[in-house]
Structure 1
Amino acid sequence: LHQQYTFDLSGLSRLDELMEVELRILRRPPPDILSLLSSGGNLYRLLLHTCSLPGSSNQPLLLTSRTIDLLDTASATWDVFDVGASVKTHLKLHRTVEASRPLCFSISAVSDSTNEVVHPSMLGLNHEDQQTHERALLVTFTRARRKENLFREIREKIKAMKSRKFPNPAPEHGIKGHPRHRRRRRTALSGRSGVGLTTGGGGGGKGGGRRRTRCSRKPLHVNFKELGWDDWIIAPLDYEAYHCEGLCDFPLRSHLEPTNHAIIQTLMNSMDPESTPPSCCVPSKLSPISILYIDSGNNVVYKQYEDMVVESCG
């Protein structure tokens, strides 16, 4: 009388340091709460074990447990289990993440008052008819040992979708929306302008020309939903990235913190613009943001990406 949850860990990078891992399982109100209350009371213990693999002599190992009160389940709730130690042990045993076996957890339930074992589905832990957003989640919190490239995740996600090896979470508006998302993703990856990006600064002059200002930070609003990435990026769905724009003419302002090379190049440009191009207005300081997303293994990952927001220009 148990229920199993299996997760593929091949999407986790070996270069990331695994900090925490949580197993989150949706529990709905029990379908027959009166029968449970009369036979076993209102308190039940959920027991989380490792799975017994076919052909293995290893017995399931109890990882953790928690007590639930049926009288407190008027609406659906997420039960959260700390499985960090178990996942780290699993990865060490299989050495490489890429070659690891799927990770499996087993959950059972027992009455606190009678010790009677009941099937988890009787307590509302039934995954037979769950929608995509209701499935059990393995949430990993990682620290990158190197600067992560967001486009690496995008490539892995698209590769997984093409191979159809893993189920693709459907967007809220249903299956009909998928072709629209795919078209937008191709547009976004091809580098064409105007998709999911809103810029500001630099007013237009006569004839549609833009009046160039000195180098400074300008708005750049990124909308992942309009880019077609909201079917795998959970949060944030948008953020302010900013961009750098403007002239770096002589004399350079001290707050731009120019390099010695930029100073020399700007000086040469002021003397002879035909022979030397002006220095470029580029980000001089960038900051990270954290992104919660579904990886190619259909796991929920929370990761910090460096160099996502322009703090200053120079």
Structure 2
Amino acid sequence: MTPNWGITFGLIVLSLFWLVHGVPVKTKSGKHRKDSQGNFGDLLERRQENMEGGLETKLLNVFGLRELPKHGRKQFETPSFMMELYQSLAEEKNQQARTTATRQIKANTVRSFFDTGRGRKNSFVFDLHGLLPREFVLSAELRLYVQKEKENAKKDTARVNLFQISGSGTRQQSDLLETRTVHITEKGWLVFDVTQTFLSHQKHLAAASLLENTTMHYAIEMVDESDNELRISRRRRRNQDRMPLLILYLNDTAIRKNDILTPAYMDIHGEKLQDGAGEEKEENTSGKRRRRKRSTSSARRSNTRSKKCQLYEFYVDFQKVGWSDWIIAPNGYNANFCNGHCPFPLDPHFNATNHATVQAILNTKDFSLKGQRIPKPCCVPSDFDSIHVLYLDDYNNVVLKEFDDMEAKSCGCH
């Protein structure tokens, strides 16, 4: 049975959140209480370390990481294309467009790879480290930023060939992928569809995971040698955001939902990024939300036991969990939780299952099993929503992944 990584991720986040804020019980003197077996504080500390270690292992499996990234995102510039894609998914109008469109090819993971810089002029090499065995390529595109040619260019356009390079030395082979006419007097992104180079790999390889050890090599060549050459941005320090990019749209088979449109159905190449306004607004909103929760948390704790089954707001802050260095966006999310009792008879708004209804009846009739009374139905989430997470992997590649069942949207008695 395939594990539900969305539920797993959600449980890990919530568990680590409580572990981070949980502390061993202390006496008035400030020292941990001791029992007959030794220092109770040390025992709790060891148990907490073991729990965190187990949760960290599960977290690595969910994200497909070998270890938690130790690099900081402050030292790394997120490709504007990836941030733009993430923001487009967060917009409500795009959500409606995705649900109404038909015959769409959708992904649940997008991986970006920077050019390694090992290729010659107008030659681009990408190491595909970080791909998971459970991920399969749906679509791929090569993105090259063309700088504006000087005013004395011979002509405005030029024809270029795109090749895939395989082998090395005397066995090197060039396969023509596309011929295109390019406006060399205009600057901007030149995007090539290179999906076929990956589909052929997946067709002949036993597992898609073998792609991880593959190096994809592409080259641009002028059809007419007399034409001005394309000025493609490649400098890492000055123009990191304009470096050549390889974008893979993937299907992670461990994730049920697919919301990310492949290039044939989306048009975000010409949109401009907001000047951080959206992110700042999100931070301010979450801050207000947290302040509101703090002011009402004590009141909620005092009366939640007497309330019927319902949904409560709960915001998970990735910075407090300790993941803000490698999770780029969002800053956190509303996990929410369900709490309250399931009264008999169960009203329709409790979304009770037939099983829960029967169990509630048996509870009122004092039915017992092995001397224990059959309990009332439990108040649990009945409807979930997914979230998209933009993060850095082990190799400084920016990844956008969708996670199922992360936000509790409604509750029911089950």
Question: Which category describes the TM-score, using the shorter chain as reference length?
Answer: 0.5 to 0.7
State the distance in 2 between where 1:299 and 1:312 align. Answer: 35
**Equivalent in the alignment of 1:38:** 152
State the distance in 1 between where 2:250 and 2:168 align. Answer: 31
**Equivalent in the alignment of 1:146:** 254
State the distance in 1 between where 2:406 and 2:343 align. Answer: 27
State the distance in 2 between where 1:53 and 1:40 align. Answer: 35
Alignment-mate amino acid for residue 13 of structure 1: L
**Equivalent in the alignment of 2:342:** 248
The counterpart of 1:13, out of the listed 104, 125, 132, is 132
The verdict on how the C-alpha distance between 1:8 and 1:225 changes in structure 2, with shifts beyond 3 A counting, is farther
Matches within 5 A, 1:26-105: 26-27=145-146, 29-30=147-148, 33-34=149-150, 37-55=151-169, 57-73=171-187, 77-100=188-211, 101-105=213-217
| 1:9/1:297 contact within 8 Å kept | no
| 1:147/1:305 contact within 8 Å kept | yes
Q: Identity of paired residues, percent?
A: 29
The verdict on how the C-alpha distance between 1:144 and 1:99 changes in structure 2, with shifts beyond 3 A counting, is closer
| 2:128/2:216 contact within 8 Å kept | no
The farther-off stretch of 283-292 and 127-136 is 127-136
Matches within 5 A, 1:1-314: 2-27=121-146, 29-30=147-148, 33-34=149-150, 37-55=151-169, 57-73=171-187, 77-100=188-211, 101-110=213-222, 115-116=226-227, 118=229, 120=230, 123-130=231-238, 133-147=241-255, 203=296, 209-212=302-305, 213-224=307-318, 227-229=321-323, 232-267=326-361, 275=373, 277-314=375-412
* Paired residue secondary structure (1:99): helix
Give the TM-score normalised by structure 2: 0.50
Q: Which runs of 5+ in 1 are unaligned?
A: 150-196
Residue-by-residue CA offset, 1:187-218 (whole Å, 9 max, x unaligned): xxxxxxxxxx9595995567963443211223
State the distance in 2 between where 1:225 and 1:26 align. Answer: 34
Alignment-mate amino acid for residue 357 of structure 2: I
Number of residue equivalences: 257
The verdict on how the C-alpha distance between 1:242 and 1:87 changes in structure 2, with shifts beyond 3 A counting, is same
Residue-by-residue CA offset, 1:67-97 (whole Å, 9 max, x unaligned): 4334322xxx333221111122234444333
State the distance in 1 between where 2:185 and 2:228 align. Answer: 19
State the distance in 2 between where 1:227 and 1:72 align. Answer: 45
* Paired residue secondary structure (2:197): helix
Q: Which runs of 5+ in 2 are unaligned?
A: 1-119, 258-288
What's the CA shift for 1:15? 3.0
Residue-by-residue CA offset, 1:29-71 (whole Å, 9 max, x unaligned): 35xx43xx43533323453321242246352112234443343
The verdict on how the C-alpha distance between 1:82 and 1:301 changes in structure 2, with shifts beyond 3 A counting, is farther
State the distance in 2 between where 1:237 and 1:205 align. Answer: 25
The verdict on how the C-alpha distance between 1:201 and 1:237 changes in structure 2, with shifts beyond 3 A counting, is closer
| 2:234/2:244 contact within 8 Å kept | no
The verdict on how the C-alpha distance between 1:211 and 1:230 changes in structure 2, with shifts beyond 3 A counting, is closer
Could you say which structure has the higher helix fraction? Answer: 2
Alignment-mate amino acid for residue 404 of structure 2: E
What's the CA shift for 1:313? 1.3
| 1:44/1:68 contact within 8 Å kept | yes
| 1:143/1:303 contact within 8 Å kept | no
| 2:339/2:380 contact within 8 Å kept | yes
State the distance in 1 between where 2:300 and 2:333 align. Answer: 32
State the distance in 2 between where 1:95 and 1:125 align. Answer: 36
